[in-house]
Structure 1
Amino acid sequence: MEAVLPKNPVNDHEDGIGVVNPHPYNVVLSNPNICRVKDLFMLVYVHTGADHYRRRAVIRQTWGDIKRFPNMRVMFVMGKTSTIKSMQDALQFESTTYGDILEEDFEDTYHNLTFKGIGALKFISHYCNNVKYVLKTDDDVFVNMYTLQNHLMQLEGAGYNKNLILCLVWWKMHALREGKWSIPKEMYPEALYPPYCSGMAYVLSTDVAPKLYDASFFVKFFWVDDVYL
């Protein structure tokens, strides 16, 4: 499905004033109706890649099965990874079949993971303000959805349903200068990162999503998505 994001209700800062990190990418595939479900409790967005079909299939058949969890929807978020028409055709068929793909036209590379997060927050801000909670995870993670939903329902009953972020917090993590996560000093001169959520999984009350999306325009891009978001 093709979709054009509306101008409202979110401020997309088209005037450009003060913007240091615009998100100019276009939506290739999406389902704007994915959250139009009565009493929708949770939207899960999953970072994935175009060629990770088997991982998506496993999620749809297990913890992401909406027949088991009718109060939840799962959305798989990706960039474009190939100019091969057959792969895009396969994604189009998958999107039409399941209605759970969000694809934008940035290049799907390891250093562009931050764009997946921003793209998902943009979509949620426009289309999913009726959802109570948002879970972010990756396509190589298994979620105990029964335990998670029970925990969130208890929190909601206690009044914890606004301005909420739940995650494993990394404290005093070093900015590595070598290896896969290498960050040059000119990009990030500090020795330690500020506290941040592990990107393996974190939960937001849905009111937090547009706040993070709005803030992203004014925070300089940083490719380590867990730290940035």
Structure 2
Amino acid sequence: MGKNITQNLRKMLKLYLLFLFLAALAFMGLQYLCITTTLVFNTVHPRIIGPLYPYLIEEPSKCGGDPPFLVLLIPSKPQDVLIRDVLRKTWANESLVLGISIKRIFLLGRSFVNNTEVSVEQESSTFHDIIQQDFLDTYHNLTIKTLMGIEWVSRLCPRASYVMKVDADMFFNPWFLVRQILQPEKPLKLEFFIGLVARGIPFRNKDSKWYISYEMYSNNYYPYYCSGTGYVFSGELSPRIYKEAMRLAFIPFEDVFLGICLARMGVHIYKPASKWFVGEKAEYNRCHFTRLVTVHHYRPDELLKLWPDFLKALEDCTG
């Protein structure tokens, strides 16, 4: 009988030791899971504060010296070398507005083609006006591309007075924007955001270019936002917008996404009484165009053709 008791005690001891071993393993596994979850939470989108992707081209000294009055953020495809050249010769010329410091930055993702990447590097070394991160340059990454520009301004050009994101297929009048709207002789406009104001509903048709699932955005209406063709905001909003963006899951429509960020931040979009931002193609009218900020759908060849006359119109049309 004593022998049976001893055997039972041994079995119970073995079971107890096995239980302690399994409990220790479970505890270590839970610790590892918690640590891993914390690391992922803090180091991957959308929970990081810092560049979303590594910079391939960064231009850290672009805003060295006195802070610029206006920074132009221009999304561009890596292969669109000719378009960038035309913009440098027309509305993206940094010295157009006398006495006003303007900096242009072309926003690029990575190309699928190695030869294109080599060409971009050569272009960058010549003009020093390109920033590029290591994400594929596609339509659905436009939000990432725009946030790259905002992050860059927040970190490397934090004292810029104003920032404008403007598409490459636009006519843009920097004189009207600077002199009539931003007015550098007056105090800086804080929490200022202006553009072509829009509001829409999410497209639920999967065949639509603008399709968005309920999982990505569940509300029936988007908040008010400014068309991504061209909008302007005070530089002090840059870090705030970027920080808010990092709290959200991205949607591929950058203008809508920024509208969501602004609504959450409590920043109201300024609605001008006049139509300064034109979202559709408008036939060139020299005097009328001197009283606009942007007009959509202008090809590089059209810009080159009208630009000399527009420069004369700035002197002729003074009423």
TM norm structure 2: 0.62
Q: Which protein is richer in helix relative to its size?
A: 2
Tell me which of 111, 129, 137 is aligned to 1:81: 111
| Per-residue CA distance 1:3-56 (angstroms, 9 max, x = gap) | xxxxxxxxxxx9829974545310001211111243521110001110111111
When Rg is computed on C-alpha atoms for both structures, the one with the higher figure is 2
> Once the 2 structures are TM-superposed, how far is the Cα of residue 160 of structure 1 from its aligned partner?
4.4
Which of these residues, 175, 183, 205, is aligned with residue 146 of structure 1?
175
Greater relative contact order (Cα < 8 A, sep 6+): 1
Q: Which amino acid aligns with 1:50?
A: P
Structure 1 gaps of 5+ residues are 1-13
Residues matched between the structures, number = 214
Counterpart AA for 1:66:
E
Choose which of 123, 136, 147 in structure 1 pairs with 2:152.
123
1:177 aligned to 2:204? Answer: yes
Residue type at the aligned position of 2:111: T
Identity percentage over the alignment? 29
Q: TM-score, normalised to structure 1's length?
A: 0.85
CA change 1:17–1:95 in 2 (3 A) is closer
Kindly indicate whether residue 127 of structure 2 is the aligned counterpart of residue 101 of structure 1: no
Select 1:59's aligned residue among 87, 93, 97.
87
Match of 2:196 in 1: 168
Contact 1:137 1:200 in 2 (8 A): yes
Aligned with 2:228: secondary structure?
strand
- The one-letter code sitting in structure 1 at the alignment partner of 2:85 is A
The one-letter code sitting in structure 1 at the alignment partner of 2:141 is N
Local SS of the residue matching 1:50: coil
Secondary structure of residue in 1 paired with 2:248: coil
TM superposition shift of 1:153: 4.1
In structure 1, the residue matched to 2:55 is: 27
- The 1:52/1:180 distance shift into structure 2, 3 A limit, reads same
Question: Is 1:198 matched up with 2:224?
Answer: no
Give yes or no for contact 1:47–1:77 (8 Å, CA) kept in 2: yes
- Structure 2 gap segments, 5+ residues each: 1-39, 259-319
SS of residue in 2 equivalent to 1:38: coil
For 2:304, the equivalent position in structure 1 comes to none
CA distance in 2, matches of 1:28, 1:19: 19
Distance 1:24 1:39, change over 3 A: closer
Paired with 1:227 and 1:151, the residues of 2 have a C-alpha distance of 27
Compared with structure 1, are the counterparts of its residues 21 and 55 closer, same or farther at alpha carbon in structure 2 (3 Å cutoff)? farther
Q: Tell me which residue corresponds to 1:8.
A: none
Question: Cα distance, 1:68 vs. partner?
Answer: 2.4
RMSD: 2.3
Give the 3-state SS of the residue equivalent to 1:212 in structure 2: helix
What's the counterpart of residue 226 of structure 1?
A: 255
Shifted more, 127-136 versus 158-167: the winner is: 158-167
**Which amino acid in 1 is paired with 2:70?**
M
Q: Is the 8 A contact 2:198 2:227 kept in 1?
A: yes
CA deviation map 1:143-200 (0-9, x unaligned)? 111111112443x5443422211122213x1111232111123322322111111111
User: For residue 214 of structure 1, what is the amino acid of its counterpart?
Assistant: K
CA contact (8 A) 1:35 1:43 kept: no
Moved more, 162-171 or 129-138: 162-171
Q: CA 1:88 to 1:33, structure 2 compared with 1: closer, same or farther past 3 Å?
A: same
